[in-house]
Structure 1
Amino acid sequence: MACGSAVQPKPGGWSFSCWPGRWVRRWVTSGPKIKRGINVETNMKQSESPADDVLTISVIMPVYNGIEFIKQSLPPLVAMKDRGEVLEVIVVDDTSSDATPEVARELGAEVMPSGGRLGPGAARNVAAQVAKGDVLWFIDADVIVHEDAARVMLEGFQESNVVGVFGSYDDEPPAQNFLSQYKNLVHHYYHQRARREASTFWSGCGAIRKDAFLAAGGFDVEMFKRPSIEDIELGYRLIGGGGRLLLLTDLQCTHLKEWRFVNLIHTEVFCRAIPWARLMLARGGLDDDLNVGVAERIKAVLAAVFFLLTAVALIGAVSWIYPVLAFGAVLYANREIFTLFLRRKGLVFAVAGLLFHQLYYVYSSAAFAWAVLESKLGVQWA
């Protein structure tokens, strides 16, 4: 999986496309190819269901060669449909080369083709056009929602002016290797402690009113031609249009993905950190939520100091008391996530997870610094 295209600049500026291994630059004479001037709040109020009506839900799941995933993720959703909790379960097959669509039908889902190898964002857009529900519930193929997820999700829409809600992974990922446990627990940690009034959107298990989604123009697959942060960017547009997004900590799901080192670093740096940094810089400021908040930036500085002092101590330039003290500061600053690691996986994992988390801070900071450098030099390296 590769990172998405760069954030588009203002008219009359340079645009830089993400393409591994080379510099790509072109002059832009027209603005971004996303819809501007939308008013999600007005659009939603015009078509909002009466308070006494129950919103209907269309589940949308994009998939490509995901037989083993959908065998686990579809049954709970189909059961919700059988209980009348959701109106339909739509699987959008992104031109799988295996029997994924046939298996999805056998499991009880409605299956439609995406129309080519378009990627998950475009596949979601295709299904949104034909979905019958008031709410579009986007769920990744490698995600198993909890039994009460539909009820919890609908409760969020009862609040005034809410156009979208999303949840988090739970703290029981089935893949047992270190990186899978670490990554999923970190996601759980950040989403569980974030502000309820969200500043972005997450499409792994998130729902948006159909009218608001269509008014916003859906996922921007021109800006992000490959899977990246198209859900985050959509969230910015929904809020910019006057809507509210909520992070519901009780809306939880189990993530089936098994992470490996190269895939994790590539995804984290090139598909998430750098594109998100570019997007925030293009918007004129950093968010103060989730894993980019002020407290997280302070922890990133501590991580850099810890590694620097450790490196200097290794060559005998300073006493080991300094990296030990730095580690104490790191442990104190990260005590909440360390406690989560300790509670779920024990002391050895907790220490290893804490150390790897400091590496995460370093490569995430490096990715942001790279995005800043790009903006100063007027170039972009994918």
Structure 2
Amino acid sequence: MGTRPSPLLESVAAEAAREAHPLKLSLIVPATDTPSTLEACLDAIHASFDQPSEIIVIDSATGPGAGLARNNGAALATGDILVFVDADVVVHPDAISRLHAHFEANPETAAVFGSYDDKPSAPGTVSSFRNLLHHHVHQTSAGHVGTFWAGLGAVRRDVFEEAGGFDPDRLWLEDVDLGIRLAEAGEEIVLDPAILGKHMKRWTLLGMVKTDFLHRAVPWMELILRHGHASTDLNLGWKHRASALSVLVLIVAAVLERPFAVVAAFAALVALNSAFYRTLRRRQGVVSGLCGIGLHAIHHAVSIAAVPYALAAYAVQRLRKRDSESVTAPAGRQSA
């Protein structure tokens, strides 16, 4: 009976194999809505320290949703790693090389994603708040997670294909859904906050409220109900839940005219998010920082309002599905 090589020899052999056959990166940019930011996005990719083996831009839609566009790009890709970059993101020069290094050094890692930087290009208080909120959440959530972000993230192609890619029927949070499915399958997903890109999206207050309600909170609740559990990663972490609870208490106390409770709830909100508010003040000034507290309260209030709506919508969906199944089910044999 032969002897098995030592772990050291196996490690050396694996390292030699990786050096002999470096991983190929295929970078995919969904751009089906003709984004004005696409040129800046591609310029940054071409200026990166580490160039991908191929850049695939999907600019013609075969259906709605960025997930379908990304799937179409993945079907054309020839690389070992699928790198997804949104068309309104300008990657930092070392972002792609950092992604590459993760996969080369950690064969067990299935997916890696990064963060927006703290210098969003779009002017205005609302744009600064929304982009910096995303930045702060990712920067404070480093490590192994049970979700994924396709704004600046990468997945091993074999893992992506085995998971079935992005759900083409899901118009929002299709990347989060993919991450949950990968985590449920036991795959390792890493958030590295050093992998950075500048977000160029311009936000308005109405756009923020609409996005937070229809494109974030409602789909999030649907994912939680469908998968049967709630993640504690990123903006579903316990601090963010406590912040939402503080806003709920603040609203109820204001309606009931309980000033002491209003002050206590507001103080709790500020205490829970002091680090984020300091970031707003440092980057945007005192006035924008103070406005950010109000915008943050609105952000949580919208998410709270979405919960009963999402529960009702999910219940209706389940009832319709059950009725549809009962109509299409074959009739049973009748006894004499």
TM over 0.5: yes
Match of 1:37 in 2: none
More displaced 10-residue stretch of structure 1: 84-93 or 186-195:
84-93
Mapping 1:145-224, distance limit 5 Å: 145-157=91-103, 158-222=105-169, 224=170
The C-alpha deviation readout for 1:142-166, integer Å capped at 9, x for no partner, is 1100000011112222224111111
Letter in 2 for 1:179: V
* Alpha-carbon RMSD: 2.1
**Structure 1 residue 89: Cα displacement:** 1.1
Match of 1:293 in 2: 237
Report if the CA contact (8 A) 1:162-1:245 is conserved.
yes
Q: Mark the CA change 1:119 to 1:370 in structure 2 (over 3 Å): closer, same or farther.
A: closer
Letter in 2 for 1:183: R
Distance, in Å, in 2 between the alignment partners of 1:370 and 1:245 is 31
The C-alpha deviation readout for 1:82-108, integer Å capped at 9, x for no partner, is x6631111111125xxxxxxxxxxxxx
Letter in 2 for 1:363: V
Structure possessing the higher radius of gyration over alpha carbons: 2
Distance, in Å, in 1 between the alignment partners of 2:50 and 2:175 is 28
Secondary structure at 1:68 match in 2: coil
Match of 2:304 in 1: 365
Match of 1:86 in 2: 52
Mapping 1:231-380, distance limit 5 Å: 231-313=175-257, 318=258, 320-375=259-314, 378=318
Distance, in Å, in 2 between the alignment partners of 1:88 and 1:270 is 34
Percent identity of the aligned residues?
Answer: 34
Q: How many residues align?
A: 303
Letter in 1 for 2:275: E
Secondary structure at 1:370 match in 2: helix
TM-score for both structures, normalised by structure 2: 0.84
Report if the CA contact (8 A) 2:92-2:197 is conserved.
yes
Runs of 4+ in 1 over 6 A off after TM superposition: none
Distance, in Å, in 1 between the alignment partners of 2:127 and 2:67 is 24
Higher helix residue share: 2
Distance, in Å, in 2 between the alignment partners of 1:284 and 1:167 is 27
**Structure 1 residue 376: Cα displacement:** 5.5
Letter in 1 for 2:222: R
Letter in 2 for 1:145: V
**Structure 1 residue 119: Cα displacement:** 3.0
Report if the CA contact (8 A) 2:244-2:304 is conserved.
yes
Match of 2:79 in 1: 133
Distance, in Å, in 1 between the alignment partners of 2:87 and 2:135 is 18
The C-alpha deviation readout for 1:110-152, integer Å capped at 9, x for no partner, is xxxxxx3443211111111121211111111111000000111
**Structure 1 residue 295: Cα displacement:** 2.1
Match of 1:39 in 2: none
Letter in 2 for 1:121: G
**Structure 1 residue 78: Cα displacement:** 2.1
Report if the CA contact (8 A) 1:156-1:246 is conserved.
no
**Structure 1 residue 370: Cα displacement:** 2.9
Match of 2:42 in 1: 74
Distance, in Å, in 1 between the alignment partners of 2:231 and 2:35 is 37
Mapping 1:92-103, distance limit 5 Å: 92-95=58-61
Letter in 2 for 1:229: L
> Relative contact order (C-alpha < 8 Å, sep 6+): which is higher?
1
Match of 1:144 in 2: 90
The C-alpha deviation readout for 1:294-344, integer Å capped at 9, x for no partner, is 22211111111123323444xxxx4x4442333222211211111111111
Report if the CA contact (8 A) 2:110-2:189 is conserved.
yes
Distance, in Å, in 1 between the alignment partners of 2:124 and 2:191 is 28
Mapping 1:11-160, distance limit 5 Å: 50-52=17-19, 53-66=21-34, 68-80=36-48, 85-95=51-61, 116-157=62-103, 158-160=105-107
Match of 1:18 in 2: none
Distance, in Å, in 2 between the alignment partners of 1:197 and 1:237 is 15
Report if the CA contact (8 A) 1:195-1:289 is conserved.
no
Letter in 2 for 1:188: H
Distance, in Å, in 1 between the alignment partners of 2:313 and 2:38 is 40
Report if the CA contact (8 A) 1:156-1:248 is conserved.
no
TM-score for both structures, normalised by structure 1: 0.74
Distance, in Å, in 1 between the alignment partners of 2:295 and 2:319 is 31
Distance, in Å, in 1 between the alignment partners of 2:310 and 2:319 is 10
Distance, in Å, in 1 between the alignment partners of 2:303 and 2:64 is 28
Q: Mark the CA change 1:171 to 1:49 in structure 2 (over 3 Å): closer, same or farther.
A: farther
Gaps of 5+ in 1: 1-47, 96-115
Distance, in Å, in 2 between the alignment partners of 1:65 and 1:369 is 32
